[in-house]
Amino acid sequence: MTQKSMASDVAIVGAGIIGTALAYFLSAEHNMRCVVLDRDTAHKTASWMAAGELSPAYRSTTPYPQPFVDFCVEGLRLHKEMYQQLVQESDVDYKLVDTPILRPAFTEAEAAEMQELGRQQRGYGMKNRWLTTSDLHAMKTWLSPDALGALLCEDEMQLETALLTAALRRACEQHGVTFRTAEVSGLRRQGGRTTGVSLSNEHLSSERVVLAMGPWARFAEKWLGFKVPVEPLRGQIVHLQIAGQLPQEAIFHMSAYVLPKPSGRVYVGTTEEYAGFDASTTKEAHDAIMESVTRLVPSLAHAKELGMTACLRPLSLDEMPIIGPVPGQQGLFLATGHARKGILLCLATGKYLAQQIAEQKPDYSLDAFSVGRIGSKS
């Protein structure tokens, strides 16, 4: 027999970094009762496995749309602003640290591209400078001497993603958020309004529902009545350990990176694979990653390998997040499609979507990421 369970103000489907951050802001800043639902007991998907660099810059030769870049800059600002508060509330230090990033050029075309990136970053207030080969030599960086130069980005940061997720969850619990392991089978509606969700043997009543399901948002299409253009983008990371003290600077070149972590490990990656919902690691990816990163840092060929991880990032068709109310379905919201920037954007998404849900005008406009651009109920 199906039973009706206790009502909440907001039911959030998905306990990843976006759903958890949203629950934090709804409860801490708007005093809303939240329940977060996820079928995975551990919740250890991309939110736990991502590299954790906080960079508004793009990695490929195709720049991000300007609204996305601006949102990433805002995301970085919020991480800086809220770090001490979240650590104090949760008693979990997720090790937010400054991380200078070298973006090297190995051809004249790459040098021109990196210098243009530098001009763009300075345009929105970030510090960087171009380093010549002489500058790099004097710096005694671990970067390959084959580099013709590098853009040194000095305003970027990183954190430990598993610890951030744990900190947000603990802070949520301090504000009364309930986390439940449960699989949602559908939405409950009355008239044109969403009134809760259906679970395997009960109905959960809620005044508002948010689908924050990462790449799994596409499985909600039958509930929404339109296509959700999001697919999983698999990224694999090799974990290394090197002898001696870790260098301070990270190195990013196209999709390859070398990222020294506060934990003492070095993360090297990554891949961008359309492999469906397969989150396994592969030898092919390992070999491709190591070939790329040893070109950047030849000494890594002698590093000790500690393991390999993979995660599935939600990539939207236009590579922009999908955030906001679902048109024509009162009380229903969607938050997905953050792709490579979910960790960077979790606080900004959580804070400003929470304001929308609380029927306030957001302090930062989310119009560029509206659900309306991808479809409406048919």
Q: Are residues 266 and 366 in the same domain?
A: no
Is 362 inside any structural domain? yes
Domain with residue 109: its CATH number is 3.30.9.10
* pLDDT for the residue 43: 46
Domain with residue 192: its CATH number is 3.50.50.60
Q: Tell me the chain's radius of gyration from C-alpha atoms.
A: 21
Average pLDDT, the chain: 92
Q: Are residues 248 and 112 in the same domain?
A: yes
Is 171 inside any structural domain? yes
Cβ burial of 243 (10 Å; 0-12, 13-18, 19+) is exposed
pLDDT score of 44 more than 60: no
Q: Are residues 181 and 304 in the same domain?
A: no
* pLDDT for the residue 41: 54
Q: Residues 6 or more apart from 31 whose CB is under 8 A from it?
A: none
Which one of 34-43, 63-72, 351-360 scores highest in mean pLDDT?
A: 351-360
* pLDDT for the residue 1: 47
The pairing of beta strand 230-241 with beta strand 186-190? unpaired
Is 54 inside any structural domain? no
At residue 96, φ and ψ (nearest 5 deg) are: -75, 120
Alpha-helix runs per DSSP H in 303-373: 342-357
- Average pLDDT for 329-344: 96
Is 344 inside any structural domain? yes
Is 187 inside any structural domain? yes
What pTM was estimated for this model as a whole?
0.94
- Look up residue 377 and give its amino acid: K
* pLDDT for the residue 71: 96
Quick one: which H or E segment has residue 234?
strand 230-241
Q: Is the Cβ–Cβ distance between 288 and 256 less than 8 Å? A: no
Is 60 inside any structural domain? no
Q: Is the Cβ–Cβ distance between 266 and 244 less than 8 Å? A: no
Domain span at residue 193 reads 3-48+162-228+318-373
Q: Are residues 172 and 202 in the same domain?
A: yes
